[in-house]
Amino acid sequence: MIWNKIIFGGLGRRGFEAVVASLVLGAASALVAGSLIVIEGGRYALTQAERDDRPEIVQIRSRFNRALFETPRSGNLPPLTLPVYEPLIEPEQLSSATGDATIVARQSLFRNVVSGDRFLNVYIFGIDPVAEAHVSSFSLIRGRFLRPDDGVVAILDDASARALGVDLGKTFPVRKADGEDLDLTVVGIIGKLDLRNAPPRTVEAPALTQGSSFVSSGVFVTLHTSETIFGRTTLTDALVVARTTTDVPFLVDSLREAFRLEPGVFVTERYSQFSRKVHDFVLTLTLFTLIGAATALLAGLFAANLLHDVYADRRRYYATLIALGVSPARVALAGLSLGLAVAFAGTLTAVLMSVFFRPAEFALPSLMANLGAIEPRFDLSVAAAMAAIALAAVALGISPTWWRLLRHPMATALSENGR
């Protein structure tokens, strides 16, 4: 109790300045916190965009990614096999062009599948189960995902499974390139599919996402099985994941160089667009940071000056305590406690108000318009910045007083009147 009185009491007229310092710090903190939570929101939006865009992924695809098309075997017409478009991406050629980047190889086929008395157009994808899982999202509602050592098994989306009338453990035939049927056993049913860089949806087929212009369903088998169906090892498309985004330009050049003699092979990347987005973000971020920093600096200095007045007025008070035998460290702690209480009272109130009254969404100017409206976010870095401003103001406020107390004889401070 007595110690609390020693810390916070005896401010006299300087008590008003302490309150003003607290208010100034509060106002500055509110403004800075407002800027920072918008910045953090923008940073989060960019992280989201990076996660969605995956700018480190380069797609390489051949023009004809439909390997084979058959008319139904039932009916009056004889089965008709359309010409096979030879995919042009040789796995070895791709490997040599990509260096240490990760290759997510794919074979994409389109088949008429007959199951019992039904037939269906389905997309069949030969994938590397491990690599594909790192770029695409498969939500299975039943069964399991593919394994690298799987044989003639398949997972397929729920819509296709229902259309084919198959379920876990059942089989359905797929016509191979040699004209024979291969029975695939269903080991998993997909409830939701997010296939990265999915091919465009060109014909009527079951779909998990209605109205989508991209394929949102299909039968997935291992590359080994799809090569058996396809009769070839060449790829229809592949994703190449660069180690870092900065490697992307070099990787794209390398791929274009490797496939320069193949006019039907296209290399596409999103890094250029993404880097423009980043550039825009950095500009906006800089603007907000400058506003925040300038505000924090000016208000922090003003608050520090007010605190300095408070401390300077208490120099004799602190000297008296030391003269009475209270240890200097304990007196310093008392001084710091006062400053921290003043600073954090304002800062904490302001931060809470900023968080409480922040808008649900904040539409940034055109610089970041392509990110859409961002949601202001309060996180540890904002809290740390606020604490740093308060601490800096207290440190600046108390330093001159404490410096004079330490550097000059205590008798000097005791003989002072006020400052």
Pairing of strands 137-143, 181-194: antiparallel
- Stretch of 98-106, 120-128, 372-380, 405-413 contacting another protein, by CB under 8 A: 405-413
Least spacing, CB of residue 330 vs another protein, in Å: 8
Least spacing, CB of residue 399 vs another protein, in Å: 16
**Measured between alpha carbons, how far is 184 from 225 in angstroms, rounded to an integer?**
9
- Both tokens assigned to 233: 């090892």
- Binding to another protein by CB under 8 A, coded x per residue (else -) over 300-319, reads ----------------xx--
Q: Strand locations in 21-157, DSSP E?
A: 57-62, 102-115, 118-127, 137-143, 153-157
Ranges within 50-69 binding another protein (CB under 8 A) = none
Q: By C-beta, is 12 or 372 nearer to another protein?
A: 12
- Stretch of 89-97, 171-179, 366-374, 408-416 contacting another protein, by CB under 8 A: 408-416
Least spacing, CB of residue 379 vs another protein, in Å: 40
Q: Is 13 in the site for another protein (CB under 8 A)?
A: no
Q: Is 418 in the site for another protein (CB under 8 A)?
A: no
Q: Is 333 in the site for another protein (CB under 8 A)?
A: no
Ranges within 260-299 binding another protein (CB under 8 A) = none
- The DSSP string of 110-134 is EEEEEETTEEEEEEEEEE-HHHHHT
- Stretch of 62-70, 162-170, 266-274, 327-335 contacting another protein, by CB under 8 A: 327-335
Q: By C-beta, is 310 or 321 nearer to another protein?
A: 321
Amino acid at 357: F
CA distance readout (Å), 81 to 74, 84, 184, 194, 251 = 14, 8, 21, 31, 38
Place of tokens 């500009």: 283
**Measured between alpha carbons, how far is 378 from 59 in angstroms, rounded to an integer?**
36
By CB under 8 A, how many residues form the interface with another protein? 26
Q: By C-beta, is 171 or 412 nearer to another protein?
A: 412
Place of tokens 């406690």: 337
Residue among 79, 99, 409, 418 that touches another protein (CB under 8 A): 409
Query: Is residue 203 a contact partner of residue 217, using CB atoms and an 8 Å limit?
Result: no
**Measured between alpha carbons, how far is 272 from 46 in angstroms, rounded to an integer?**
15
Pick from 85, 43, 6: nearest CA to 376: 43
The percent helix, strand, coil of the chain (3-state, each to 5) is 50, 20, 30
Residue among 77, 203, 261, 324 that touches another protein (CB under 8 A): 324
Least spacing, CB of residue 321 vs another protein, in Å: 7
Residue among 77, 203, 261, 329 that touches another protein (CB under 8 A): 329
Q: Is 10 in the site for another protein (CB under 8 A)?
A: yes
Q: Is 406 in the site for another protein (CB under 8 A)?
A: yes
Which residues in this chain contact another protein in the complex, by CB under 8 A?
2-3, 5-6, 9-10, 12, 316-317, 320-330, 406, 409-412, 414
